[in-house]
Amino acid sequence: MNKEHMINTYSTSQIAGIVGLHPNTVRMYEEWGLIQKPERKKNGYRVYNSNDMNRLKIIRSLRCANYSLSAILRMLNKLEIGMHKSENDILNILNTPEDEKDIISACDRLIDSLEKAIKNAYEVILLMKEIKQMKM
C-alpha cells in the first residue's frame, strides 16, 4: 500500500491526547454534534481520522478563545453548507447567538464551572500536601 493512500487513524484516547482534550470531552463533542460519529472497529471502539483531529483542534482553539459550544456548533454548521465564508462572516456567525437559549449553552456554562471546580480541588490538594509536609 502506498503511503499516500494510508489514512492515519486514532483511538479516542490517542486523539484526545494529541489535541489536548480529555477523552470524555471528545465523546461529548460527538454526542452534541460538534464532530461526526466516527467509524467503529469490530470491538466497538471509535476510530478517528485526521479530519476529525483538525475539527477538534478548531473546536479546542475556539473554546480557548472563550467561544461557547453553541457558537462553535453554529459556525461549523454554517461552514458545512458549502459556502466559502470570509473572516468577517465567520466572526459574525460566532458572535451572533440565536434567539432562543439552547441546552448546549447551559451545558457549556456547567462544563466551565466544573472545570474551574476541578482546578480549585487540585489546588486545595496541593495546599493540603504542603501543610502536611510542614508538620513533619
- What pLDDT score was predicted for residue 94? 58
Q: For position 91, what pLDDT does the model report?
A: 63
Separation of CA 39 from chain center: 18
What global pTM score does this model have?
0.58
Angle between helices 50-64 and 69-80 (to 10 degrees): 140
Q: Tell me which residue of 110, 98, 116, 91 sits closest to 28, measured CA to CA.
A: 110
Q: Which CATH number fits domain 1-66: 1.10.1660.10, 3.30.300.340, 2.40.50.140, 1.10.10.60?
A: 1.10.1660.10
* Spatial distance between the Cα atoms of 96 and 93, rounded to a whole number of angstroms: 5
Predicted local distance difference test score (pLDDT) of residue 93? 59
pLDDT at 1: 43
- The predicted pLDDT at position 115 comes to 81
Give pLDDT < 50 ranges for the chain. Answer: 1-5, 99
pLDDT at 21: 92
Type of residue found at 106: A
Return the pLDDT at 56. Answer: 93
* DSSP classification of residue 5: G
pLDDT of residue 2: 45
